[in-house]
Chain A
């Protein structure tokens, strides 16, 4: 069974803290994605990666960075958390190649920044 896991379901941090959100997939997928989900806005792409050590900015990369040192792991980093980064964060993965396939999602991390 395909699996995308995220390190925490719920996280509470203080303004200015450095925050790491971890995502691991066991499907040997090339592509990995980080989204944030906010009411009324749907899911918005923060960063994505097509391969190890590769990263591309999504639609809302400001205030975030990512790391992909291994194929199965994609980390989202909030260098200095702010209250407007309180949100649900979703990680996803998909097969690489020319044909666009469905993305498989993790359970999400609900981050609260106080």
Chain B
């Protein structure tokens, strides 16, 4: 069965600290997609990144970076020099190519204090 685990329920950091959000997934498919979404206090989920299972290159976008490792079934998200505006709930999700359905992790609440 497909499953996404975000073991960190809540993380609190002080502004400018680096923080890594963990995501571990389970799937039997060889073709799948991984996503990260951000849910700020306003409630609307914002898409951050999509990665397919054949592309293990890490990605950097400004202060955000993602580390995809198939060997450990992990897709971790790092925010460098965190800011108060990064405070949100972050969701990792898995979509199998065969179904297209998204399976979400439980979410990690990040609080960045000034």
Contact = CB atoms under 8 A, between A and B. Distances in A.
Do the two shown chains form a genuine complex with each other? yes
Interface in B46-92: 46-47, 50, 52, 91
Contacts, number: 52
Given A42-B91, A107-B42, A102 B47 contact: yes
A104 interface: yes
A108 B101 contact: no
A83 B52 CA distance: 39
Chain B, interface size: which category?
20 to 34
A113 to B, nearest CB: 19
Interface residues of A, number: 26
A104 B107 contact: no
Interface string A23-62: 0000000010101000011111100101000000010000
Contacts of A33: 102
B95 A108 contact: no
Given A90-B45, A101-B50, A105-B45, A40 B102 contact: no
Given A42-B106, A101-B50, A31 B100 contact: yes
A51 B28 CA distance: 27
A39 B99 CA distance: 26
Given A40-B106, A42-B107, A100 B44 contact: no
Contacts of B46: 105
A40 B50 CA distance: 23
A98 B100 CA distance: 9
B80 to A, nearest CB: 23
A43 B101 contact: no
B14 interface: no
19 contacts: A31-B100, A33-B102, A40-B106, A42-B6, A43-B91, A43-B104, A44-B104, A45-B102, A48-B101, A58-B101, A92-B45, A100-B52, A100-B95, A101-B50, A102-B50, A105-B37, A107-B43, A108-B43, A108-B44
Interface of A: 31, 33, 35, 40-45, 48, 50, 58, 88, 90, 92, 94, 98, 100-108
